[in-house]
Structure 1
Amino acid sequence: MLSIRYLYNIGYGPSSSHTMGPGNAAKILKEKYPNLDKVHVILYNSLALTGKGHLTHDAIMDVFKPIEVEFEHQIDLKKHANTLIFKGYFNDEFIFEEEVKSIGGGQIVFGNIEEKAPHIYPHQTFNEIKNYCKKKQISLYDYVIEVEGIEIVDYLKIVWETMKHSVENGLKAEGVLPGPLKVIRKAKTLINKKLKNEPDEVKENRLVSAYAFAVSEENAAGGIVVTAPTCGACGVVPAVLYYMHQKHKFIDENRIIKALAIAGLFGNLIKHNASISGAVAGCQAEVGSACSMAAAAHATLFNLSIDQVEYAAEIAMEHHLGLTCDPINGFVQIPCIERNAVAALRAIDACGLAYFLSDSRKISFDMVIQTMYQTGLDMHTGYKETSEGGLAKQYEYFKDDNCW
């Protein structure tokens, strides 16, 4: 498995491949060539067709501002689906040309040579990791540090700061999200809509949902988020961690970092042994995986045993099996934003069940990962990030029929 650095990517939403990757490429080139006054960008294939809806242009322009940016769109099937060519100028003099491929998860490749990241984890399944940890009498966090090195802590601190900012920025924002759906941002309403004599369970539901909405709305608006494990599911883990950090004084930054490390380990296992792509396995691979990561993180915050952490992650994934990816109009808004909130609440519930019932479980985390993956492979393509089935299709039918 790769380092969890490749799971937690920081950049522009709403798409890790269409927005975050191009934005990261622009940032690298701006730093590499600081003396520019104009940039010409050619978007190819998938980026040319769907880049506008995924705010590709906005992310690139935001990085280069106040530099003038021109765009061109081309189809060339010999090139990678998400290819960009950047051309830089100063005083009308040509400075550079760089070709970039956005290969998914916010990762980018310059030129034609793909440098493959090293697989640093010696174990490939959770059962192998669990047995290793129990034999050495170390925790899952100790295992991550043993493999990644202590320097991963500094990176996870940056991840946590970014997650906090995305929550806090989203809670303050108002208005309508980009796109034809005209979805109104709701996080600020949720955080402020306190009920008189509000019961604790209602307050928890409202606050966790508000935090998930905040991050997911920031993502939909093209803000800076962390893939956890994807842009479309980026609100789940931050919502759970932020809520617990606010609620409990004993949950300090050190506990949060440990929880992020363990969440990353579980996300890595899903990514390595199955998929975290909605295009491959539906939303169960995105929001389901995020819920599983958040449940493992929540269990870690409360120092539960390895078996309890595993069970929490397994429950979270098991009850997302079969979840389709059917975003209306292709925008990461409906039903994606609400799903992040529901999954955050489900992660907390999964941890509660695991605390009481881990000694009676029959399903392992490895088993549920493989079940999710096979379910995704069996799923009709119309229910996997194409907007050709499910809610996306029915929305168009009911809208045209004026049925609401």
Structure 2
Amino acid sequence: MAVSVFDLFSIGIGPSSSHTVGPMRAARLFAERLTADGLLADTAGLRAALFGSLGATGHGHGTPKAVILGLEGHAPETVDVDRADLDVERVTHSRRLNLAGTRTIDFDPGSHLILHRRRSLPHHPNGMTLTAHDAGGRTLLEKTYYSVGGGFVVDEEAVGADRIKPDSTLLTHPFSTGDELLRRCRDTGRSVSGLMLENEKAWRSEQEIREGLLKIWAVMRECVQAGLSREGILPGGLGVRRRAASSARSLRAQGDARGHAMEWVTLYAMAVNEENASGRRVVTAPTNGAAGIIPAVLHFYRDFVPGADDDGVVRFLLTAGAIGILFKENASISGAEVGCQGEVGSACSMAAAGLAEVLGGSPQQVENAAEIGIEHHLGLTCDPVGGLVQIPCIERNGMASVKAVTAARMALRGDGRHHVSLDKAIKTMKETGADMKVKYKETSRGGLAVNVIEC
């Protein structure tokens, strides 16, 4: 299965790639299917049922909002984040939905959008079933979708694939394991980013790849700057204060930015995740719950590495994408499936690899950096307090960003030889996720999610 760097890095909306971006895409696909099958004109009503983690933490992760927006034809990449809440309020108060943006039907979110908090569908914890019916109650279309992490969506007929329509594109240098990636680099004499660039040319020209990645970088920068300028209380009822802006002011007052580089890295990540928690525009990298790590480490490269330029940004993202593919194909990037080790852990690994590449690391050192990044997140649980991506998610991104920089530096001081391969670390992550109790996998039924509330 061919996976592009642009599958792993996509522009979307917070607070969650698997609970917001994925369900919005699934709902939009359902509306498009009704239109394509000629069923839209006969549709008088519909029902949306959310299961597993989507049902357990749906409200905190914005899933009902995402489903409503998707059914009205909005996409995560283009939805107006300033109008999104107003559109959902309109539907809630009027109990009328503008299906596919063209047909108005009765829809009461309170009764037609059901969250099953303890029921799951068979193939993945993030499942949802959409059913459309005519005026007589006859079912016109029923589809089950799974949001499998990072905004990827599959329908019931494509379980196990990476998207609704499996991509069979033939790549110049295909790889599915870290060992294969290193072998390809050795045989071709290319760097990890160079190898990934050749593969990306199966879909786009080199100029389109560069422009697309720099656009992603521009959105990351905008998100960081917005997060460093906004203050106030994050939505959701926990009363969590935004801290990035005030902390940035304090750091600027101290001067000597280079002497506080790691503190800036932490704040860059927190700025992104405060924006994400507010439902603003972010880059899924590779998930929204871990969206601050790669932007933060890229900012470290730009601000604190002499000679940093756009070419380095492109190489960084290509390398990070190559590592992300290994996690996507051999384990998971879904917190509901393997815990936060699959989100923050994979993002840390990707960021460490990207930084090692642009700092001059060999493919072996890049692989070593990626391995260090994930090894020291193994077993990390996903236990969001109140079902919100605020505690511990925001601080966790800041900590992982510093770990990524440290991992790259450690790898570059070696020669690439190490005892634990990236493949073994990814395999361990998958097995650990399988062993992890469900209450620690984005259900808000264990860990901090219950102990903070009880206190």
State how far apart, in whole Å, the 2-side matches of 1:127 and 1:286 are.
Answer: 22
Residue 348, structure 1, aligned to residue 405, structure 2: yes
Residue 130, structure 1, aligned to residue 200, structure 2: no
| Partner deviation per Cα, 1:229-275 (whole Å, 9 max, x = no partner) | 11111110011102321334521112101110110110110111111
- SS for the counterpart of 1:358 is coil
Amino acid across the alignment from 2:214: K
Shift of 1:145: 1.8
Shift of 1:279: 1.8
State how far apart, in whole Å, the 2-side matches of 1:79 and 1:371 are.
Answer: 23
Residues 343, 9 of structure 1: alpha-carbon distance in 2 compared, 3 angstrom cutoff: same
| Partner deviation per Cα, 1:46-97 (whole Å, 9 max, x = no partner) | 356644322235455584776854533147988992244689xxxxxxxx99
Shift of 1:13: 1.3
Residue number in structure 2 paired with 1:402: none
Contact 1:190 1:209 in 2 (8 A): no
Residues 350, 143 of structure 1: alpha-carbon distance in 2 compared, 3 angstrom cutoff: same
Residues 200, 246 of structure 1: alpha-carbon distance in 2 compared, 3 angstrom cutoff: closer
Shift of 1:12: 1.2
Residues 278, 202 of structure 1: alpha-carbon distance in 2 compared, 3 angstrom cutoff: farther
What pairs with 1:181-200 in structure 2 (closer than 5 Å)? 181-194=238-251
Residue number in structure 2 paired with 1:116: 166
Residues 53, 120 of structure 1: alpha-carbon distance in 2 compared, 3 angstrom cutoff: farther
What pairs with 1:52-201 in structure 2 (closer than 5 Å)? 52-59=59-66, 60-61=68-69, 63=79, 69=97, 71=109, 72-74=112-114, 81-84=127-130, 101=145, 103-104=147-148, 105-108=150-153, 114-118=164-168, 120=170, 122-149=174-201, 150-151=204-205, 152-194=209-251
Give the counterpart of 2:48 among 35, 43, 46.
43
Residues 216, 86 of structure 1: alpha-carbon distance in 2 compared, 3 angstrom cutoff: farther
Contact 2:22 2:153 in 1 (8 A): yes
Shift of 1:381: 2.4
Contact 1:171 1:188 in 2 (8 A): yes
Residue 234, structure 1, aligned to residue 291, structure 2: yes
**Aligned CA-pair RMSD:** 3.3
Residue number in structure 2 paired with 1:3: 3
Structure 2, unaligned runs of 5 or more: 36-43, 92-96, 98-106, 134-139, 159-163
Contact 2:316 2:358 in 1 (8 A): yes
- SS for the counterpart of 2:113 is strand
Residues 364, 279 of structure 1: alpha-carbon distance in 2 compared, 3 angstrom cutoff: same
- Aligned residue pairs total 388
Amino acid across the alignment from 1:132: R
Identity of aligned residues (%): 41
| Partner deviation per Cα, 1:328-367 (whole Å, 9 max, x = no partner) | 1221111111010000011111111111123552221111
Shift of 1:25: 6.0
Give the counterpart of 2:393 among 319, 322, 336.
336
Residue 375, structure 1, aligned to residue 380, structure 2: no
Structure 1, unaligned runs of 5 or more: 34-38, 88-95, 400-404
Per mean C-alpha deviation after superposition, the further-off stretch among 348-357 and 155-164 is: 155-164
| Partner deviation per Cα, 1:149-197 (whole Å, 9 max, x = no partner) | 0533333223222212211221121111121211111111121112765
Residue number in structure 1 paired with 2:39: none
Contact 2:213 2:314 in 1 (8 A): yes
Shift of 1:125: 0.8
Residues 343, 201 of structure 1: alpha-carbon distance in 2 compared, 3 angstrom cutoff: farther
- SS for the counterpart of 1:321 is coil
Residue 309, structure 1, aligned to residue 366, structure 2: yes
Contact 1:18 1:102 in 2 (8 A): no
| Partner deviation per Cα, 1:188-226 (whole Å, 9 max, x = no partner) | 112111276566665112211111011111111111212
- SS for the counterpart of 2:59 is coil
Residues 172, 383 of structure 1: alpha-carbon distance in 2 compared, 3 angstrom cutoff: same
Per mean C-alpha deviation after superposition, the further-off stretch among 374-383 and 221-230 is: 374-383
Contact 1:311 1:358 in 2 (8 A): no
Residue number in structure 2 paired with 1:363: 420
Residues 54, 42 of structure 1: alpha-carbon distance in 2 compared, 3 angstrom cutoff: farther
State how far apart, in whole Å, the 1-side matches of 2:254 and 2:18 are.
Answer: 45
Amino acid across the alignment from 1:52: H
Residue number in structure 2 paired with 1:284: 341
Residues 238, 305 of structure 1: alpha-carbon distance in 2 compared, 3 angstrom cutoff: same
Shift of 1:131: 1.2
Residue 320, structure 1, aligned to residue 377, structure 2: yes
State how far apart, in whole Å, the 2-side matches of 1:259 and 1:148 are.
Answer: 14
| Partner deviation per Cα, 1:27-60 (whole Å, 9 max, x = no partner) | 7879x99xxxxx9774322356644322235455
Residue number in structure 1 paired with 2:324: 267
- SS for the counterpart of 2:348 is helix
Residue number in structure 1 paired with 2:17: 16
Shift of 1:99: 6.3
- SS for the counterpart of 1:167 is helix
Contact 2:234 2:274 in 1 (8 A): yes
Per mean C-alpha deviation after superposition, the further-off stretch among 61-70 and 288-297 is: 61-70
Amino acid across the alignment from 1:364: S
Contact 1:86 1:99 in 2 (8 A): no
